[in-house]
A and B are shown apart, each in its own frame.
Chain A
Amino acid sequence: MTVLGAGGGTSSYEEIENTDLILLWGSNARNAHPIFFHHLLKGLRNGARMYAVDPRRSESAQWADVWLGIDVGSDIALANAMAKVIIDEGLHDREFIERATTGFDAYAEKVSEYDLARAEQITGVPADAIREVAIAYATAPTAQLCWTLGITEHHTASDNVLALISLALLTGHVGRYGSGLVPIRGQNNVQGGGDMGALPNRLPGFYDVEDPEARAKFEAAWNASIPPKRGWHLTQMFEAMAAGKLRGLYVIGENPAQSEADAVHAVEALRSLDFLVVQDIFMTATAELADVVFPAAADWVEGEGTVTSSERRVQRVRPALRPPGEARTDIAIISGLARAMGVDWGDPTAEEIWDELRSLSPAHAGMSYRRLEELGGIQWPCPDENHPGTKFLHARLWEEEVKDPAPFIPVDWVPPVDTLTDEYPIRLTTGRHLDGYNTGVQSSGFDSPLRTGTTLDISPEDAERLGIVDGEVVRVVSRRASVTAPVRIDPEMRPGLTFMAIHYPEQVDVNKLTIEAWDPKSGTAEFKATAIRIEKL
């Protein structure tokens, strides 16, 4: 989060149990983050009101007091319109804005362009509902604003997030117990990976790789020089591959041949490489294309280390099984590779590597393995070994003197890249089932009685209009490809909207349909907004 200075959810799960209002935006946590949703349900049972913003009346949205059925990709228009209502009604927190933020005037001017009539027209959400959620959010004593991939899998991903952060700044719903911004993470260590510097622009511990002072600190510790410029993110790498500028790739624990939007192009790009190394626990579709495959242990159950959760809680993983065959832990593979390249790091344990990280990242300094064990994990920042960890971030914004005020960053709505036309009149959005996970390589291994495979979920209205019955196999055509899939008629869907789960690429390769348009700031692809038509077979 460029606005607030540290990239992590601001709140703890316990806070959603004790908040007054829950605004769940672009998240079907009931399916995708079920145990987070347990905490949310405790909040509802404790009397919180809930508003859900989602194109579908999903399993999560069904728990809301009010569901705002939004058109895919119009989130910024909704957020800006809410801001305009809040400002027009005088419900913004003037004192907080004055003390802890900058750039309010430009922001107020930008959002003034989003009156309710215009917002209703863009979002499909009735003006009254927009007004209601705006007033409810602004007047709630505490409020949690939670989101997931419904916000970030758009070509406007970063702007979408900025629009939500601005709502929190406008109302003072950040930096206090019960009020916060909660992006719920989709992978068990996507938070930790970023915290450890596995981002193109970061060193471990949130340091900017382009900051010479930060680089000097790490260069001294590592006795090595660090490239002074940020690297490419995944989407840029694929562009560089297509342009012939990136010739070798080392993929660890990722299956881009199936997980990238526009999977056909992704496979072409991977095939065009001079050299591809894949390190994975599976022989994935990407590994099939590789020159060298390193069979890896599943570190969560066959190795040691830590992962960091959506509430910034660092927790230990431990070995319970012996790795199969020749599989080795990631640490062993990487150390071995370094040795082969002429640098001997020895055979460091996970704890030794962690202690090095603690010596370099002040936010993790107090988290010894012993304390992680004793406290059931610790939430960063934890600067020393007497520090209990941090429940919520940005309390500093409520101090008398705020050193680094948070900037409002005005953003404008732009429509999804894949526009709806007479030829492609229907919106397809993608997502997750309760018992599935991403491309299914992990989740397809167990016998789930719930597993339905991929269906094209459509509204009863569209089904009737197109003369399609439940279970009928249809062709789904996007501007890039077509697939066939059985139809599931689903009253959760609004007319004009369809949904497919992504877990079964062997059955229906949904990501062939999706567009490779991506967000220039974060590199996230627009999985959520594809234009399709449905053809009867």
Chain B
Amino acid sequence: MTAETTSPALVTLEIDGRDVAVPEGSTILDACRRIGSDQPTMCWASTLTPVNVCRVCVVEVEGSRALVPSCSRRVEEGMVVRTDSEAVRHARKVVFELLASAVDLSLVDDSIRAWMAEYGCEPERFGPAAPPSDDRDRRQAGHHRRPTGETAETVHQPVKVDNPLYVRDYSKCILCYKCVQACGPEAQNTFAISVAGRGFDARISTEFDVPLPQSACVYCGNCIAVCPTEALMFRSEYELRQAGMWDPDRQEVVTTICSYCGVGCNLELHVQDNRIVKVTSPDDHSVTRGNLCIKGRFGYEYVQESDEPTPIDEVLARARADS
């Protein structure tokens, strides 16, 4: 057995009238990116198996009955792909509109916002948001109210702040399943969360909706790392946002190596005003593939204990005292 594999054969296809050759096994999304034609994605991540649920990356493949998700569909020789046809634009627009009418997308990436503008999305056309309900976690399958059609149902539910490290705001959850994959078989294998409920009542939940400290959660933060909407957020970011002090423009990201065990995980320290406010890891590094453990993710406090607390320290200390 050898470490080296022979390079796979190239497959040639046409994307928006341009010929492109990519290695066999590539996805249409890979091929698009190869020629600099980016596509929107929300449920896709380079470190996870595609689950094809968000549908914002769909493209038209000539001869195909329906639009296909570009993030998972493998290229085939002679394939003719259109990423900007009327059908594609319409589908993406409606998907974004449906999501935005039901889910708080206020913290999605700027690139998603740009795609929504590109397609002229008008989520308001489904009507004003229905009054917030606080019972999503308790709904039983089949117990639906019939929508009136005058307001848009939402996934609103109260923010869950039940531990010192994570905050879960499922009003921002688009059910992309990435957190479930990361907590489960694709990375952490802890299985603390899963999808509960069916249809519009489906939501991400711990077993029986217990608070995180009573669940199997081990606080690796690998779910937060893959969340595309900031429904899952580090407590530090949440508290600083609440205090109006979260400022990515003033943050510097420095890559270093974790100070704990000898595995050698790369840490991206997000630093604002000489304080670490968030820790991530690069998706494309062979050691972590974006994943960390509780020590790497949160174990940095010891380097910022200080006799002269900064405003950031004060906000976070208050939150610690509350929890």
Contacts and interface: CB of A to CB of B under 8 A. Distances in A.
A185 B261 contact: yes
Given A13-B286, A178-B1, A317-B257, A446 B298 contact: yes
Interface in A1-33: 13-14, 32-33
Interface stretch (A65-73, A244-252, A305-313, A519-527): A305-313
A151 to B, nearest CB: 15
Contacts of B91: none
Interface string A297-321: 0101110000111110101111111
A447 B165 contact: yes
Interface stretch (B58-66, B70-78, B199-207, B268-276): B268-276
Interface of A: 13-14, 32-36, 38, 41, 45, 141-142, 176-178, 184-191, 281-282, 298, 300-302, 307-311, 313, 315-322, 324, 376-377, 391-392, 434-435, 437, 441-450
B305 A445 contact: yes
Contacts of B302: 281-282, 298, 441-446
Given A14-B286, A301-B300, A317 B256 contact: yes
Contact of A309 (B212, B271, B287, B299): B287
B305 to A, nearest CB: 6
A310 B262 CA distance: 6
Contact of A445 (B3, B254, B299): B299
B260 A188 contact: yes
Contact of B301 (A142, A311, A377, A445): A445
B288 interface: yes
23 contacts: A35-B287, A35-B291, A36-B263, A38-B291, A142-B1, A184-B261, A184-B262, A186-B262, A188-B260, A301-B300, A311-B287, A313-B264, A316-B256, A317-B257, A320-B269, A320-B271, A320-B276, A434-B218, A437-B261, A442-B299, A443-B299, A448-B298, A450-B294
A188 B254 contact: no
B311 to A, nearest CB: 16
Given A319-B254, A437-B261, A447-B164, 11 more contacts: A13-B286, A45-B185, A177-B2, A300-B259, A301-B269, A310-B262, A318-B256, A320-B269, A434-B295, A445-B305, A446-B300
Contacts of B209: none
A320 B262 contact: no
A315 B257 CA distance: 7
Contacts of A316: 256-257
B266 interface: yes
Interface in B1-48: 1-3
A313 B165 contact: no
Given A141-B1, A319-B254, A435 B219 contact: yes
A316 B165 CA distance: 28
Contact of A449 (B165, B276, B296, B304): B165
B320 interface: yes
Which of A38, A142, A313, A376 has the most chain B CB atoms closer than 10 A to its own CB? Answer: A38
Contact of B164 (A177, A317, A445, A449): A449
A321 B271 contact: yes
A481 to B, nearest CB: 28
A346 B245 CA distance: 42
Contacts of A187: 260-262
Contacts of B165: 447-449
Interface in B231-253: 252
Contacts of A298: 259, 302-303
A186 B1 contact: no
Nearest to B320: A447
A281 B269 CA distance: 19
B187 interface: yes
Nearest to B3: A177
Nearest to A59: B218
Given A176-B1, A177-B2, A434-B293, A377 B256 contact: no
Contact of B295 (A186, A324, A443): A443
Contacts of B220: 34
B299 to A, nearest CB: 5
B257 A191 contact: no
B164 A320 contact: no
Contacts of A41: 189
Q: Ordered nearest first, which 4 A-B pairs have the shortest CB separation? A: A185-B262, A309-B264, A34-B293, A445-B302
A461 B300 CA distance: 40
If over half of A's interface residues share one DSSP class (helix, strand or loop), that class is named, otherwise mixed; here it is loop
Given A177-B2, A321-B276, A301 B263 contact: no
A448 B219 contact: yes
Interface string B280-323: 00100111110111111011111111100000000000001001
B255 interface: yes
B181 interface: no
A181 B267 CA distance: 27
B303 A322 contact: no
Contacts of A315: 257, 264, 266
The interface centre, meaning the residue of A35, A36, A321 with most chain B CB atoms within 10 A of its CB, is A35
A521 to B, nearest CB: 21
Given A315-B257, A315-B264, A318-B255, A13 B306 contact: no
Nearest to A432: B261
A188 B298 contact: no
Contacts of B163: 449
Contacts of B187: 38
A320 B298 contact: no
Contact of B292 (A35, A301, A311): A35
Nearest to B261: A33
A281 B164 CA distance: 25
Interface string B98-134: 0000000000000000000000000000000000000
Nearest to B302: A445
A32 B205 CA distance: 28
A176 B3 CA distance: 9
A279 to B, nearest CB: 16
B301 A446 contact: yes
Contacts of A448: 164-165, 219, 294, 298
Nearest to A441: B302
Contacts of B83: none
A14 B3 CA distance: 10
Contacts of A34: 220, 263, 293-294
A149 to B, nearest CB: 11
Contact of B263 (A35, A142, A434): A35
Given A36-B263, A315-B266, A441-B302, A447 B323 contact: yes
Contacts of A318: 254-256
A413 to B, nearest CB: 28
Nearest to A297: B303
B265 A35 contact: yes
Contact of A33 (B3, B213, B218, B262): B262
A188 B219 contact: no
B258 interface: yes
Contacts of B269: 301, 320
B213 A449 contact: yes
Nearest to A314: B264
A307 B254 contact: no
Given A38-B187, A176-B1, A324-B306, A300 B299 contact: no
B260 A450 contact: no
B303 A301 contact: yes
Contacts of A377: 264, 287
B188 interface: yes
Given A307-B264, A315-B264, A446-B299, A320 B292 contact: no
